[in-house]
Amino acid sequence: MTKVTCTDYSPELFQSQEITDLGEFLARHRPEWCRVRWIDVLGLDQPEIIRALADKYQLHPLAVEDIVHLVQRPKAEDYPGSGDQPGRLFVVARAVDPDEGQVRTEQVALFLGRTTLLTFQEEPGDIFEAVRNRIAARTSRAREHDASFLLYCLIDAVVDGYFPVLEQYSDLLDDVEEELLTRPCLETSRKLHALKRELVMLRRAAWPMRELMAQLLREKHECVMENTRTYFRDVYDHCAQIIDLIEMYREIAAGVTETYMSAVSNRMNEIMKVLTIISTIFIPLSFVAGVYGMNMYVPEAQWRSMYAVFWLICGTIGGGLLLWFRRRRWI
Protein backbone atom coordinates (compact mmCIF):
# COMPACT_ATOMS: atom_id res chain seq x y z
CA MET A 1 0.00 0.00 0.00
CA THR A 2 1.32 3.37 -0.99
CA LYS A 3 1.10 6.03 1.71
CA VAL A 4 1.11 9.71 0.79
CA THR A 5 1.90 12.35 3.40
CA CYS A 6 1.61 16.07 2.82
CA THR A 7 3.53 18.42 5.07
CA ASP A 8 2.97 22.17 4.83
CA TYR A 9 4.88 24.69 6.87
CA SER A 10 5.88 28.27 7.22
CA PRO A 11 8.05 29.83 9.94
CA GLU A 12 4.97 30.11 12.15
CA LEU A 13 2.77 27.20 11.22
CA PHE A 14 3.16 23.48 10.59
CA GLN A 15 0.67 20.90 9.39
CA SER A 16 1.17 17.29 8.37
CA GLN A 17 -1.59 15.01 7.07
CA GLU A 18 -1.88 11.63 5.44
CA ILE A 19 -3.65 11.90 2.09
CA THR A 20 -6.25 9.24 1.42
CA ASP A 21 -8.14 10.80 -1.49
CA LEU A 22 -5.43 12.13 -3.74
CA GLY A 23 -7.75 13.51 -6.41
CA GLU A 24 -9.65 15.66 -3.97
CA PHE A 25 -6.41 16.78 -2.37
CA LEU A 26 -4.83 17.85 -5.64
CA ALA A 27 -7.94 19.80 -6.58
CA ARG A 28 -7.88 21.84 -3.37
CA HIS A 29 -5.76 24.99 -3.20
CA ARG A 30 -2.78 25.05 -0.93
CA PRO A 31 -3.32 27.23 2.19
CA GLU A 32 -2.26 30.86 1.94
CA TRP A 33 0.18 30.69 4.84
CA CYS A 34 2.04 27.66 3.46
CA ARG A 35 5.55 28.51 2.39
CA VAL A 36 6.84 25.03 1.67
CA ARG A 37 4.76 22.00 0.70
CA TRP A 38 6.37 18.57 0.93
CA ILE A 39 4.52 15.59 -0.51
CA ASP A 40 6.12 12.31 0.49
CA VAL A 41 5.11 9.08 -1.31
CA LEU A 42 6.01 5.90 0.54
CA GLY A 43 6.00 2.82 -1.69
CA LEU A 44 5.73 2.74 -5.46
CA ASP A 45 3.13 0.05 -6.06
CA GLN A 46 0.33 2.40 -7.13
CA PRO A 47 1.42 3.89 -10.42
CA GLU A 48 -1.77 5.98 -10.68
CA ILE A 49 -0.66 8.04 -7.70
CA ILE A 50 2.65 8.81 -9.33
CA ARG A 51 0.88 9.67 -12.57
CA ALA A 52 -1.52 12.03 -10.87
CA LEU A 53 1.29 13.86 -9.10
CA ALA A 54 3.37 13.98 -12.28
CA ASP A 55 0.45 15.60 -14.15
CA LYS A 56 -0.28 18.08 -11.42
CA TYR A 57 3.35 19.16 -10.98
CA GLN A 58 4.35 18.90 -14.66
CA LEU A 59 7.20 16.44 -14.15
CA HIS A 60 9.20 15.37 -17.20
CA PRO A 61 8.20 11.89 -18.51
CA LEU A 62 11.83 10.65 -18.43
CA ALA A 63 12.15 11.60 -14.77
CA VAL A 64 8.85 9.95 -13.92
CA GLU A 65 10.07 6.77 -15.62
CA ASP A 66 13.19 6.89 -13.46
CA ILE A 67 11.13 6.93 -10.26
CA VAL A 68 9.83 3.43 -10.83
CA HIS A 69 12.93 2.10 -12.59
CA LEU A 70 14.63 1.02 -9.38
CA VAL A 71 18.25 0.59 -10.44
CA GLN A 72 19.05 4.24 -11.08
CA ARG A 73 22.46 5.60 -10.19
CA PRO A 74 22.24 8.58 -7.86
CA LYS A 75 22.13 11.68 -10.03
CA ALA A 76 20.81 15.20 -10.24
CA GLU A 77 19.03 16.37 -13.35
CA ASP A 78 17.99 19.85 -14.13
CA TYR A 79 14.75 20.24 -16.08
CA PRO A 80 14.80 23.98 -16.69
CA GLY A 81 11.46 25.75 -16.87
CA SER A 82 10.28 27.35 -20.11
CA GLY A 83 7.33 29.65 -20.65
CA ASP A 84 4.66 28.78 -18.11
CA GLN A 85 6.31 25.46 -17.23
CA PRO A 86 8.19 25.80 -13.95
CA GLY A 87 11.79 24.53 -13.62
CA ARG A 88 12.36 21.35 -11.70
CA LEU A 89 15.42 19.81 -10.09
CA PHE A 90 15.23 16.02 -10.11
CA VAL A 91 17.45 14.11 -7.68
CA VAL A 92 17.82 10.36 -7.30
CA ALA A 93 19.61 9.25 -4.14
CA ARG A 94 20.38 5.84 -2.74
CA ALA A 95 19.80 5.23 0.95
CA VAL A 96 21.27 2.27 2.78
CA ASP A 97 19.52 0.21 5.44
CA PRO A 98 21.51 -1.40 8.23
CA ASP A 99 20.18 -4.88 7.77
CA GLU A 100 21.83 -7.83 9.56
CA GLY A 101 25.06 -8.37 7.69
CA GLN A 102 23.66 -7.55 4.26
CA VAL A 103 23.64 -4.18 2.56
CA ARG A 104 20.18 -3.29 1.34
CA THR A 105 19.88 -0.06 -0.58
CA GLU A 106 16.73 1.87 -1.29
CA GLN A 107 16.14 4.34 -4.07
CA VAL A 108 14.78 7.76 -3.19
CA ALA A 109 13.59 10.21 -5.86
CA LEU A 110 13.12 13.90 -5.10
CA PHE A 111 11.58 16.68 -7.24
CA LEU A 112 12.33 20.20 -6.16
CA GLY A 113 10.24 23.15 -7.32
CA ARG A 114 10.28 26.69 -5.98
CA THR A 115 7.99 26.04 -3.04
CA THR A 116 7.26 22.36 -3.35
CA LEU A 117 9.23 19.17 -2.76
CA LEU A 118 8.00 15.77 -3.92
CA THR A 119 9.73 12.68 -2.57
CA PHE A 120 9.25 9.04 -3.58
CA GLN A 121 10.62 6.27 -1.37
CA GLU A 122 10.97 2.71 -2.63
CA GLU A 123 10.56 0.88 0.66
CA PRO A 124 7.75 1.16 3.22
CA GLY A 125 10.12 2.12 6.11
CA ASP A 126 10.11 5.92 6.37
CA ILE A 127 13.68 7.20 6.48
CA PHE A 128 12.42 10.79 6.53
CA GLU A 129 10.46 10.42 9.77
CA ALA A 130 13.17 12.07 11.84
CA VAL A 131 13.38 15.07 9.53
CA ARG A 132 9.61 15.58 9.64
CA ASN A 133 9.62 15.48 13.41
CA ARG A 134 12.47 17.98 13.56
CA ILE A 135 10.54 20.40 11.38
CA ALA A 136 7.41 19.90 13.44
CA ALA A 137 9.25 21.16 16.53
CA ARG A 138 8.17 24.72 17.32
CA THR A 139 11.73 25.94 17.71
CA SER A 140 12.98 24.49 14.45
CA ARG A 141 15.05 26.94 12.43
CA ALA A 142 14.59 24.73 9.38
CA ARG A 143 11.13 26.27 8.87
CA GLU A 144 12.67 29.63 8.19
CA HIS A 145 14.28 28.34 5.04
CA ASP A 146 12.77 27.47 1.68
CA ALA A 147 12.13 24.16 -0.09
CA SER A 148 15.74 23.68 -1.18
CA PHE A 149 16.76 23.63 2.49
CA LEU A 150 14.28 20.83 3.03
CA LEU A 151 15.94 19.03 0.13
CA TYR A 152 19.25 19.47 1.94
CA CYS A 153 17.80 18.06 5.17
CA LEU A 154 16.46 14.98 3.42
CA ILE A 155 19.65 14.24 1.45
CA ASP A 156 21.63 14.81 4.63
CA ALA A 157 19.47 12.22 6.35
CA VAL A 158 20.11 9.76 3.51
CA VAL A 159 23.87 10.31 3.61
CA ASP A 160 24.13 10.19 7.40
CA GLY A 161 22.42 6.80 7.21
CA TYR A 162 25.64 5.38 5.73
CA PHE A 163 27.70 5.98 8.87
CA PRO A 164 26.09 3.41 11.20
CA VAL A 165 26.35 0.81 8.43
CA LEU A 166 30.03 1.60 8.00
CA GLU A 167 30.55 1.29 11.72
CA GLN A 168 29.00 -2.17 11.59
CA TYR A 169 31.47 -3.11 8.89
CA SER A 170 34.35 -1.71 10.85
CA ASP A 171 33.41 -3.92 13.80
CA LEU A 172 32.88 -6.93 11.56
CA LEU A 173 36.26 -6.36 9.93
CA ASP A 174 37.96 -6.17 13.31
CA ASP A 175 36.29 -9.43 14.34
CA VAL A 176 37.27 -11.22 11.17
CA GLU A 177 40.82 -9.87 11.44
CA GLU A 178 41.11 -11.05 15.03
CA GLU A 179 39.68 -14.44 14.14
CA LEU A 180 41.80 -14.99 11.05
CA LEU A 181 45.02 -14.05 12.77
CA THR A 182 44.47 -16.33 15.74
CA ARG A 183 42.71 -19.31 14.18
CA PRO A 184 42.77 -19.20 10.36
CA CYS A 185 39.94 -21.43 9.22
CA LEU A 186 37.90 -21.66 6.06
CA GLU A 187 34.74 -20.28 7.67
CA THR A 188 36.32 -16.94 8.50
CA SER A 189 37.86 -16.72 5.07
CA ARG A 190 34.32 -16.92 3.72
CA LYS A 191 33.14 -14.25 6.11
CA LEU A 192 35.93 -12.05 4.84
CA HIS A 193 34.87 -12.74 1.25
CA ALA A 194 31.29 -11.76 2.08
CA LEU A 195 32.52 -8.61 3.80
CA LYS A 196 34.56 -7.59 0.78
CA ARG A 197 31.61 -8.21 -1.46
CA GLU A 198 29.40 -5.99 0.66
CA LEU A 199 32.03 -3.26 0.57
CA VAL A 200 32.12 -3.45 -3.23
CA MET A 201 28.36 -2.98 -3.27
CA LEU A 202 28.42 -0.20 -0.73
CA ARG A 203 31.05 1.58 -2.75
CA ARG A 204 28.90 1.27 -5.82
CA ALA A 205 26.15 3.12 -3.96
CA ALA A 206 28.41 5.73 -2.37
CA TRP A 207 30.53 6.91 -5.31
CA PRO A 208 27.67 8.32 -7.36
CA MET A 209 26.28 9.95 -4.21
CA ARG A 210 29.42 12.05 -4.08
CA GLU A 211 29.19 12.87 -7.76
CA LEU A 212 25.60 13.87 -7.17
CA MET A 213 26.58 16.25 -4.38
CA ALA A 214 29.45 17.68 -6.42
CA GLN A 215 26.96 18.38 -9.19
CA LEU A 216 24.50 20.08 -6.85
CA LEU A 217 27.38 22.11 -5.46
CA ARG A 218 28.71 23.11 -8.86
CA GLU A 219 25.63 23.83 -10.91
CA LYS A 220 23.34 26.71 -10.08
CA HIS A 221 19.64 26.03 -10.19
CA GLU A 222 16.76 28.44 -10.05
CA CYS A 223 15.07 26.49 -7.25
CA VAL A 224 18.15 26.29 -5.01
CA MET A 225 18.92 29.37 -2.93
CA GLU A 226 22.56 30.47 -2.81
CA ASN A 227 22.34 30.04 0.93
CA THR A 228 21.53 26.34 0.68
CA ARG A 229 24.63 25.59 -1.36
CA THR A 230 26.77 26.16 1.73
CA TYR A 231 24.85 23.31 3.30
CA PHE A 232 25.30 21.09 0.25
CA ARG A 233 29.05 21.50 0.72
CA ASP A 234 28.61 19.93 4.13
CA VAL A 235 26.83 16.88 2.68
CA TYR A 236 29.51 16.64 0.02
CA ASP A 237 32.14 16.45 2.75
CA HIS A 238 30.22 13.63 4.41
CA CYS A 239 30.10 11.71 1.13
CA ALA A 240 33.84 12.16 0.67
CA GLN A 241 34.37 10.83 4.17
CA ILE A 242 32.15 7.80 3.52
CA ILE A 243 34.10 6.94 0.40
CA ASP A 244 37.38 7.41 2.26
CA LEU A 245 36.20 4.98 4.90
CA ILE A 246 34.99 2.40 2.39
CA GLU A 247 38.28 2.53 0.51
CA MET A 248 40.18 2.23 3.77
CA TYR A 249 38.17 -0.80 4.82
CA ARG A 250 38.72 -2.35 1.43
CA GLU A 251 42.45 -1.89 1.69
CA ILE A 252 42.53 -3.28 5.20
CA ALA A 253 40.44 -6.26 4.06
CA ALA A 254 42.92 -6.85 1.23
CA GLY A 255 45.73 -6.76 3.78
CA VAL A 256 43.89 -9.26 5.96
CA THR A 257 43.55 -11.64 3.02
CA GLU A 258 47.26 -11.46 2.35
CA THR A 259 48.12 -12.00 5.98
CA TYR A 260 45.68 -14.87 6.09
CA MET A 261 47.36 -16.51 3.12
CA SER A 262 50.75 -16.18 4.74
CA ALA A 263 49.37 -17.54 8.00
CA VAL A 264 48.05 -20.56 6.09
CA SER A 265 51.41 -21.02 4.40
CA ASN A 266 53.20 -20.77 7.70
CA ARG A 267 50.89 -23.33 9.22
CA MET A 268 51.57 -25.66 6.32
CA ASN A 269 55.28 -25.16 6.84
CA GLU A 270 54.90 -26.09 10.48
CA ILE A 271 52.87 -29.21 9.69
CA MET A 272 55.40 -30.30 7.12
CA LYS A 273 58.25 -29.69 9.52
CA VAL A 274 56.73 -32.00 12.10
CA LEU A 275 56.15 -34.69 9.49
CA THR A 276 59.63 -34.32 8.09
CA ILE A 277 61.38 -34.39 11.46
CA ILE A 278 59.54 -37.52 12.60
CA SER A 279 59.89 -39.31 9.27
CA THR A 280 63.50 -38.37 8.76
CA ILE A 281 64.46 -39.69 12.16
CA PHE A 282 62.43 -42.89 12.29
CA ILE A 283 62.52 -44.10 8.69
CA PRO A 284 66.30 -44.75 8.80
CA LEU A 285 66.02 -46.25 12.28
CA SER A 286 63.26 -48.59 11.09
CA PHE A 287 65.56 -49.65 8.28
CA VAL A 288 68.30 -50.52 10.77
CA ALA A 289 65.85 -52.52 12.85
CA GLY A 290 64.64 -54.19 9.67
CA VAL A 291 68.21 -55.22 8.83
CA TYR A 292 68.60 -57.05 12.12
CA GLY A 293 65.24 -58.68 11.65
CA MET A 294 66.43 -60.45 8.49
CA ASN A 295 66.41 -64.20 8.55
CA MET A 296 69.92 -64.66 7.26
CA TYR A 297 73.38 -65.04 8.70
CA VAL A 298 74.16 -61.63 10.10
CA PRO A 299 77.53 -61.93 11.82
CA GLU A 300 77.33 -59.07 14.31
CA ALA A 301 73.81 -60.13 15.38
CA GLN A 302 75.46 -63.01 17.22
CA TRP A 303 77.32 -60.71 19.61
CA ARG A 304 75.97 -60.56 23.15
CA SER A 305 76.28 -56.77 23.39
CA MET A 306 74.81 -56.17 19.97
CA TYR A 307 71.54 -54.89 21.45
CA ALA A 308 73.38 -52.10 23.23
CA VAL A 309 75.33 -51.34 20.08
CA PHE A 310 72.05 -51.17 18.17
CA TRP A 311 70.68 -48.53 20.53
CA LEU A 312 73.98 -46.69 20.24
CA ILE A 313 73.59 -46.63 16.47
CA CYS A 314 69.98 -45.43 16.81
CA GLY A 315 71.00 -42.75 19.30
CA THR A 316 73.79 -41.54 17.05
CA ILE A 317 71.59 -41.31 13.98
CA GLY A 318 68.70 -39.71 15.84
CA GLY A 319 70.89 -37.31 17.77
CA GLY A 320 72.81 -36.33 14.67
CA LEU A 321 69.62 -35.56 12.80
CA LEU A 322 68.23 -33.58 15.72
CA LEU A 323 71.43 -31.54 15.84
CA TRP A 324 71.17 -30.93 12.10
CA PHE A 325 67.54 -29.81 12.47
CA ARG A 326 68.52 -27.44 15.23
CA ARG A 327 71.33 -26.03 13.13
CA ARG A 328 68.79 -25.31 10.39
CA ARG A 329 66.55 -23.69 13.01
CA TRP A 330 63.73 -26.19 12.42
CA ILE A 331 63.40 -26.93 16.08
Footprint on residues 254-283 left by its own copies (CB under 8 A)? 255-269, 271-276, 278-280, 282-283
For residues 279 and 65, what is the distance between their CA atoms, to the nearest angstrom? 72
- Give the residue from 107, 177, 150 showing the smallest Cα distance to 14: 150
- Spatial contact of 199 and 249, defined as CB atoms under 8 Å apart: yes
Q: Which of 193, 218, 219, 320 binds its own copies (CB under 8 A)?
A: 193
186 contacts its own copies (rule: CB under 8 A)? yes
185 contacts its own copies (rule: CB under 8 A)? yes
Residue 187 CB, shortest distance to its own copies, in Å, is 10
Q: Which of 230, 316, 319, 331 binds its own copies (CB under 8 A)?
A: 230
Q: Which stretch binds its own copies (CB under 8 A): 3-11, 35-43, 119-127, 225-233?
A: 225-233
Within 103-162, the residues that bind its own copies by CB under 8 A are none
Q: Which of 35, 56, 75, 221 binds its own copies (CB under 8 A)?
A: 75
178 contacts its own copies (rule: CB under 8 A)? no
**Cβ-Cβ contacts under 8 Å for 192 (sequence gap 6 or more):** 176, 180, 253, 256, 257, 260
35 contacts its own copies (rule: CB under 8 A)? no
327 contacts its own copies (rule: CB under 8 A)? no
252 contacts its own copies (rule: CB under 8 A)? yes
Residue 117 CB, shortest distance to its own copies, in Å, is 21
Tell me whether residue 19 or residue 322 sits nearer to its own copies (CB atom).
322
1 contacts its own copies (rule: CB under 8 A)? no
Q: Which of 62, 130, 312, 331 binds its own copies (CB under 8 A)?
A: 62
Q: Which stretch binds its own copies (CB under 8 A): 15-23, 105-113, 216-224, 297-305?
A: 297-305
- Spatial contact of 4 and 40, defined as CB atoms under 8 Å apart: yes
CA angle, 15 as apex, 11 and 17 as ends, to 5°? 155
297 contacts its own copies (rule: CB under 8 A)? yes
Residue 27 CB, shortest distance to its own copies, in Å, is 27
Residue 98 CB, shortest distance to its own copies, in Å, is 18
For residues 162 and 143, what is the distance between their CA atoms, to the nearest angstrom? 26
